Structure 1
Amino acid sequence: MATIVMERIGRVFISLQQIRQVPRMLTEAAPSMPGTVRDTEVPYYFRECYISTGYRPLNQNWRYYLLSLFQRHNETLNIWTHLLAFLVFVVKLCQLAETVDFVSDPHSWPLLILILSSLTYTAFSVAAHLLGGKSELCHYSFFFLDYIGVAQYQYGSAVVHFYYAVDETLHRHMHGVFMPVTTILSSLSCLGCCYGKYCNHSLPTWVRKVCQVVPSTLAYVWDSSPVAVRLLSWSTASDDPAVLYHFGQVAFFLSCAFFFTCPLLERIFPGRCDFVGQSHQLFHIFLSCCTLCQIHASHLDYVGRRELYSRLHTSGEVALFVGLYVVTLVVCVLIGVFMLSKVKRVLECQTKSK
């Protein structure tokens, strides 16, 4: 028995060793691809705090950046964490589609909005981290797209919380107000993130963080208030399987918020987290776990609280929420286009001054 166990441990160790060699093997398989560069060789607003190496050179062809999905650089794990999350959400959607009638049952549409918004934000995040290093204009364009994805995901989170998790008292006070305010806060979150990124060319990094964190925090507090009220009023004697996942999503979100605002590991180990160990990588992982808990909790609420939410919400109200989702998406796209036009003017002025 001990021999068998040792053989299996040895196989696992060998497998881990082989996995660690994958980046080097891929780099050797594509020797024509340029190597990575130091932070001093890219514009300063491309640089991340305490990350000194692993930057991809600018102005290469698109093929290079697409193939860099399999190259070792400081964005590799940021790409793969959300790419894997995207695939997990696709599988989850396929599983739910076997039991949930997303076409004929209007009460399932908030759940569908959450899943679609989750797929959107992870896809946009992958695009930003994979392709945003091509040029200065691409950097801003793809990260503005990333912020649009985050904003519409905030709306997706709010709609399932208000639709499935809300109690009667809160619904009575927030009815007719909650979702329109959510649209406004999601749009302001997109604006704050885009403006913070735009300020990168002239202002310190902390300005960007403030512009991104403050409106996003307001949006999260508002969006999660139905869940917070429910958790605070929860009794240990009650049999509610969704509560555990609601606790999970709150814990994961607080964790990802911490690592988004504080580059702890890079600060403690400067120069050692250029490939793995970045706080933004942990932010991606915790945010993906938060989303997965949301989907699980919302599905359980969809199944177990049907009598309550079908009484509180009408089919016409569901259509309104879908319409507000479209409005939120359109407004955020317009914000992104507007901020991109400002970026183009700045870049043109910089080009003329050279």
Structure 2
Amino acid sequence: MLSLIKLPRVFTINQVPKVFHEDSIISGYRHPCSSATDCILSLFQLTNETLNIWTHFLPTWYFLWKVVTVVLMQTAWQDSFIWPLVIFLLTCCIYPLASSCAHTFSSMSTRARHICFFFDYGALSLYSLGSAIVYSAYVFPDKWVNSFFHHCYVPIAMLNTVICTAVACYSRFPESQGPKFSKFLRVVAFAYPYLFDNIPLFYRVFLCEGEGCTDNDTNILHYNHIALALLTGFLFATHLPERLAPGSFDYIGKTDLRSS
């Protein structure tokens, strides 16, 4: 069926405006003034966004299934203890869906590109807030529960959501004149909420001892999650592996968060 449809043409870095350029990505660019139809058709051809889009779109449905499972099978609405988990799972659906849409339609125009990633940044910050809510409910060490920090934790996370979204969105404006400064702002906007939200988890996993502390097989999952989060941040900040061999990772292997 797709063979009967004319798929949009792809371009090299020298054929698209600078605002669409990605560090060390040489080819696979879509037309900078693509129509919405072209953007959707590009999902079924190999471009430098195809992998980004599908690796966000498919997990959306997995987490949506998890939400339905929790709500229907765990009778979430009858047990307030499960509400933070439902909120967190909803943010797990919203973030990858928003990111998938941002990468899909960001080639419609320069203005559309900025707007798409504004929503992407907001969804990422919302996911960060969801993490804080679930950590506040389930992860805080017993000795911290109902402390001053515990009472301030979620309100501060909400404030972080607003401020860091604004910083990430602002980082797009000076990008052409100061790409390194823009990159620094974006890294801070993403890294700070993660570090703040994980304070109770870091303490519980690495420092907490005695009653009310985690000391079981769950720690392995936390270690893996932390390691992968740090690896993601490192790849995003350094543009590895694409920087090692420009043009070799245009379609597979490039840092997924390079634009977002």
| Alignment CA distance shift 1:270-1:76 (3 Å) | same
2:255 matched to 1:279? yes
2:222 matched to 1:222? no
TM-score (norm 1): 0.68
2:225 matched to 1:249? yes
2:37 matched to 1:37? no
Amino acid corresponding to residue 47 of structure 2 in structure 1 = H
Q: Post-superposition shift, 1:72?
A: 0.9
Partner of 1:183: 158
Q: Post-superposition shift, 1:234?
A: 5.3
TM-score (norm 2): 0.91
Q: Cα deviations across residues 6-50 of structure 1 (Å, max 9, x unaligned)?
A: xxxxxxxxxxxxxxxxxxx95x442x2331011122221211001
Q: Cα deviations across residues 131-158 of structure 1 (Å, max 9, x unaligned)?
A: 0111111101111000010010010011
Partner of 1:84: 58
Partner of 1:344: none
**Equivalent residue in structure 1 for 2:23, among 30, 49, 68:** 49
Amino acid corresponding to residue 274 of structure 1 in structure 2 = D
Amino acid corresponding to residue 268 of structure 1 in structure 2 = L
2:245 matched to 1:269? yes
Mind listing any 5+ residue stretches in structure 1 that lack a counterpart? 1-24, 285-354
In 2: Cα distance, 1:219 partner to 1:60 partner? 34
Q: Post-superposition shift, 1:206?
A: 1.5
Partner of 1:288: none
Match runs of 1:248-327 below 5 Å: 248-280=224-256
In 1: Cα distance, 2:199 partner to 2:257 partner? 27
| Alignment CA distance shift 1:277-1:238 (3 Å) | closer
In 2: Cα distance, 1:96 partner to 1:273 partner? 39
Q: Do the aligned partners of 2:141 and 2:208 also contact (CA within 8 Å) in 1?
A: no
Greater C-alpha radius of gyration: 1
Match runs of 1:115-264 below 5 Å: 115-171=89-145, 172-200=147-175, 202-233=176-207, 240-264=216-240
Of 36-45 and 126-135, deviating more is 36-45
Q: Do the aligned partners of 2:34 and 2:107 also contact (CA within 8 Å) in 1?
A: no
Q: Do the aligned partners of 1:81 and 1:281 also contact (CA within 8 Å) in 2?
A: no
Structure 1 stretches of 4+ moved >4 Å: 234-239, 281-284
Secondary structure of 1:84's counterpart equals: helix
In 1: Cα distance, 2:214 partner to 2:170 partner? 45
Q: Post-superposition shift, 1:281?
A: 7.1
In 1: Cα distance, 2:214 partner to 2:129 partner? 29
Partner of 1:305: none
Secondary structure of 1:198's counterpart equals: coil
Of 210-219 and 223-232, deviating more is 210-219
Amino acid corresponding to residue 64 of structure 2 in structure 1 = V
Secondary structure of 1:149's counterpart equals: helix
Percent sequence identity is: 29
Secondary structure of 2:151's counterpart equals: coil
Of 148-157 and 259-268, deviating more is 259-268
Q: Post-superposition shift, 1:233?
A: 3.4
Q: Post-superposition shift, 1:239?
A: 5.3
Q: Do the aligned partners of 2:102 and 2:116 also contact (CA within 8 Å) in 1?
A: yes
| Alignment CA distance shift 1:162-1:283 (3 Å) | farther
Mind listing any 5+ residue stretches in structure 2 that lack a counterpart? none
Partner of 1:331: none
| Alignment CA distance shift 1:219-1:226 (3 Å) | same
Q: Do the aligned partners of 1:110 and 1:160 also contact (CA within 8 Å) in 2?
A: yes
